């Protein structure tokens, strides 16, 4: 018996589209680039490992993380997390505590003894890595995973570069540093310490290396001429921090002045306080808005009793009196001398005016372009000298540990391409997941978890870690604050709101549209929390 709603189609008409010819747009599922991923200098799949962490599968989250960064416990402490600055959740309440969760995963891996993935099949090639800071360690790790033999050399007595000799232990405990370095070395890396490379090409030929990666860092403090009666009381801040790391700190006295405004200046001032200085004053020629040090370092230092002298320069240092000239900002916002002076009591002056890189190992190689003290490199990180790559502070980029980790990964892939005769092609990126594509009503207000800190009174005279880690409960909560910007997390919203039952749940993951029934109403787009569906013009 015919139903009262039976439809008779003309002969030759297809049933391929039950919605009729009036649909002009159709919904499609898309994957967009989360702003946190896009901002990460190490190229981490942040959203991916947060997704695993929010289910409590911490090992899976850690293994996703170390696909890009083998030093999560370290970076969870020293990275200044640009990912959080761009986090879309900032416009809802506060950014997801990505850095805190990363540290939790790194610490959990150390506590449970999780091992890095083993090395790849032996390629028969041998790569020299010069420098064991974050860039050198990252390159070493990724090169071993690709199957290349690696010899890691460093001029210091211990591995770690500026992570060991420039970052104080109250920010990066040495047990954490040693644990994550050891995992990389355990992949079968030959290590040579106290080994200085004077000529990169001579070293390459003598060692029969197929390629070289230079990760020499910036470990030479910049000097400035300060008239002084006793020059021994003027100390380079980089050398000072290095001596403290070697447990051989110089005698500074009670009143210490630090000249500079970067993170090294604040590390030096906070370290001086821990060594017994009653007064630690930072003299900086500009104002707070122009100061390059991170806000976190600044606030921590003030809380520990470090004081500031803004818009000031050091003029001379005679006896125990330091002469400081006041500056004033001109119409363009640049500081100019005023001719007004004041005296400060000081027993020592630490210079923290920036750092330079020792590139003498590249002298005599005109193929290499050095501009403003850094090596120019191609997208593959190769210098003008074939087979010689460089990264980290030796190249034009922000001088942070996380940038260096990303350079090491990119250089390892560039070296692999070079050794296999391939041209390096950087992969394309998805479109950015914009806040405007999100439906934030779906996400409940969830204030950011604050990491506990060591009491200020307990910081005096000790290098115990200041910022503490999250508990498992807090880490789980923080991971769940992620809004999965631009990528489906299978919330079932589209499945539930579709009036035509055109959304099909797949057995593996996610969904697909049955366009035979979809009429293009776009309700699914309007209701998708994370902006993972878009309307596209119908094909004619």
Domain boundary among 336, 352, 368: 352
Percentage of residues in the chain with pLDDT exceeding 70? 96
First to last CA, the chain: 37
Assign 19 a pLDDT band (cuts: 50, 70, 90).
low
106, 475 Cβ separation under 8 angstroms: no
369, 389 Cβ separation under 8 angstroms: no
pLDDT, mean of residues 93-112? 97
Domain boundary among 455, 479, 503: 479
Range scoring the smallest mean pLDDT among 385-389, 475-479, 506-510: 506-510
Domain that holds residue 463: 35-114+439-479
- The conformation of residue 233, written as its DSSP 8-state character, comes to G
Residue 165 belongs to a domain? yes
Higher pLDDT, 5 or 442: 442
Cα 249 to Cα 245: distance, rounded to the nearest angstrom: 8
pLDDT, mean of residues 486-510? 93
At residue 2, the pLDDT reads 42
Secondary structure class of 265 (helix, strand, coil): helix
Residue 392 belongs to a domain? yes
520, 23 Cβ separation under 8 angstroms: yes
pLDDT, mean of residues 239-259? 96
- The conformation of residue 249, written as its DSSP 8-state character, comes to P
Spell 219-251 as b/e; 16+ CB within 10 A means b: bebbeeebebeeeebbbbbbbbbbebbeeebee
* 365 and 455 belong to one structural domain: no
Assign 13 a pLDDT band (cuts: 50, 70, 90).
very low
At residue 5, the pLDDT reads 36
Q: Model pTM greater than 0.75?
A: yes
Percentage of residues in the chain with pLDDT exceeding 90? 86
Strands of the sheet containing 190-192, edge to edge, are 190-192, 149-153, 126-130, 211-214, 388-390
At residue 540, the pLDDT reads 66
Domain boundary among 307, 336, 352: 352
> Can you give the CATH number for the domain in which 518 is found?
3.30.70.20
pLDDT, mean of residues 451-473? 93
- Count of positions (residues) in the chain: 540
At residue 388, the pLDDT reads 98
Residue 361 belongs to a domain? yes
* 347 and 257 belong to one structural domain: yes
> Can you give the CATH number for the domain in which 261 is found?
3.50.50.60
pLDDT, mean of residues 112-122? 97
Residue 460 belongs to a domain? yes
Structure tokens belonging to residue 174: 């040495």
Residue 425 belongs to a domain? no
pLDDT, mean of residues 492-497? 94
| DSSP secondary structure of 441-475 | GGSPP-PPPPPPB--GGGGTT----SBPPPPHHHH
For residue 154, give every residue at least 6 positions away whose Cβ sits within 8 Å of its Cβ, in sequence order, or none.
Answer: 130, 131, 132, 136, 161, 191, 192, 193, 194, 195
* 404 and 328 belong to one structural domain: no
CA angle, residues 432, 68, 99, in degrees to nearest 5: 70
The model's pLDDT over 167-202, given as tens digits with 9 standing for 90+, comes to 999 999 999 999 999 999 999 999 999 999 999 999
Taking 70 as the threshold, does the pLDDT of residue 371 lie above it? yes
> Can you give the CATH number for the domain in which 58 is found?
1.10.1060.10
Residue 467 belongs to a domain? yes
* 134 and 210 belong to one structural domain: yes
Residue 428 belongs to a domain? no
Taking 60 as the threshold, does the pLDDT of residue 11 lie above it? no
Q: Are strands 220-221 and 307-309 parallel, antiparallel or unpaired?
A: unpaired
Other C-beta atoms closer than 10 Å to the C-beta of 338 total: 11
Range scoring the smallest mean pLDDT among 112-116, 427-431, 480-484: 427-431
Residue 527 belongs to a domain? yes
* 387 and 345 belong to one structural domain: no
How many Cα atoms are found within 13 Å in the side-chain-facing hemisphere of 49?
29
Question: What total of structural domains would you count in the chain?
Answer: 4
* 474 and 501 belong to one structural domain: no
Pick from 182-186, 327-331, 426-430 the range whose average pLDDT is largest: 182-186
Taking 70 as the threshold, does the pLDDT of residue 1 lie above it? no
The model's pLDDT over 212-245, given as tens digits with 9 standing for 90+, comes to 999 999 888 888 888 876 788 999 999 999 999 9
At residue 14, the pLDDT reads 36
Q: Is 41 left (phi over 0), alpha (psi -120 to 50) or beta?
A: alpha
pLDDT, mean of residues 306-325? 94
Average model confidence (pLDDT) across the chain: 93
Query: For the purposes of burial, counting CB atoms within 10 Å of the CB of 126, is it exposed (0-12), middle (13-18) or buried (19 or more)?
Result: middle
């Amino acid at each position: 018996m015919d139903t009262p709603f039976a439809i008779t189609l003309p002969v030759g008409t297809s049933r391929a589209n039950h919605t009729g010819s009036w649909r002009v747009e159709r919904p499609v599922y898309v994957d967009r680039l989360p702003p946190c991923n896009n901002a990460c200098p190490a190229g981490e799949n942040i959203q991916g490992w947060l997704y695993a962490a929010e289910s409590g599968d911490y090992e899976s989250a850690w293994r996703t993380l170390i696909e890009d960064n083998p030093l999560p416990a370290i970076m969870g402490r020293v990275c200044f997390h640009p990912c959080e600055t761009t986090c879309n959740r900032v416009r809802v309440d506060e950014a997801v505590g990505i850095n805190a969760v990363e540290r939790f995963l790194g610490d959990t891996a150390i506590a449970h003894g999780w091992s890095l993935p083993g090395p790849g099949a032996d390629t028969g090639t041998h790569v020299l890595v010069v420098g064991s800071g974050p860039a050198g360690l990252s390159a070493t790790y990724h090169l071993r995973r690709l199957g290349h033999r690696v010899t890691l050399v460093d001029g210091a007595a211990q591995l770690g570069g500026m992570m060991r000799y420039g970052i104080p232990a109250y920010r990066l405990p040495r047990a954490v540093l040693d644990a994550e370095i050891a995992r990389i070395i355990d992949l079968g890396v030959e290590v040579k310490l106290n080994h200085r490379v004077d000529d990169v090409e001579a070293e390459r030929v003598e060692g029969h290396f197929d390629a070289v990666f230079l990760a020499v860092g910036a470990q030479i403090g910049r000097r400035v001429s300060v008239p002084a009666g006793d020059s021994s009381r003027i100390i380079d801040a980089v050398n000072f921090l290095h001596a403290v790391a070697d447990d051989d700190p110089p005698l500074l006295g009670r009143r210490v002045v630090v000249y500079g405004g970067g993170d090294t200046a604040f590390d030096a001032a906070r370290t001086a306080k821990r060594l017994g200085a009653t007064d630690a004053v930072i003299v900086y020629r500009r104002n707070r808005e122009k100061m390059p040090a991170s806000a976190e370092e600044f606030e921590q230092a003030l809380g520990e009793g470090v004081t500031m002298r803004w818009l000031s320069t050091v003029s001379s240092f005679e006896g125990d009196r330091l002469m400081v000239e006041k500056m004033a900002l001109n119409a363009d916002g640049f500081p100019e001398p005023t001719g007004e002076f004041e005296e400060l009591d000081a027993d020592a002056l630490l210079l923290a005016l920036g750092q330079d890189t020792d590139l003498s190992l590249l002298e005599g190689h005109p193929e290499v372009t050095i501009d403003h003290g850094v090596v120019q490199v191609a997208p593959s990180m190769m210098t003008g000298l074939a087979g010689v790559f460089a990264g980290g502070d030796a190249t034009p980029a922000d001088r942070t540990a996380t940038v260096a980790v990303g350079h090491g990964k990119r250089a390892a892939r560039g070296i692999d391409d070079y050794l296999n005769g391939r041209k390096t092609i950087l992969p394309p990126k998805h479109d950015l997941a914009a806040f405007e594509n999100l439906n934030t009503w779906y996400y409940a207000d969830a204030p950011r978890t604050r990491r506990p800190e060591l009491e200020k009174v307990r910081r005096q005279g000790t290098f115990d870690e200041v910022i503490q880690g999250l508990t498992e409960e807090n880490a789980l909560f923080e991971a769940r604050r992620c809004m999965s910007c631009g990528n489906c997390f299978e919330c079932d919203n589209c499945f539930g709101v579709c009036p035509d039952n055109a959304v099909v749940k797949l057995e593996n993951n996610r969904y697909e549209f049955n366009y035979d029934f979809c009429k293009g109403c776009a309700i699914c787009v309007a209701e998708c929390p994370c902006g993972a569906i878009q309307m596209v013009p119908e094909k004619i």
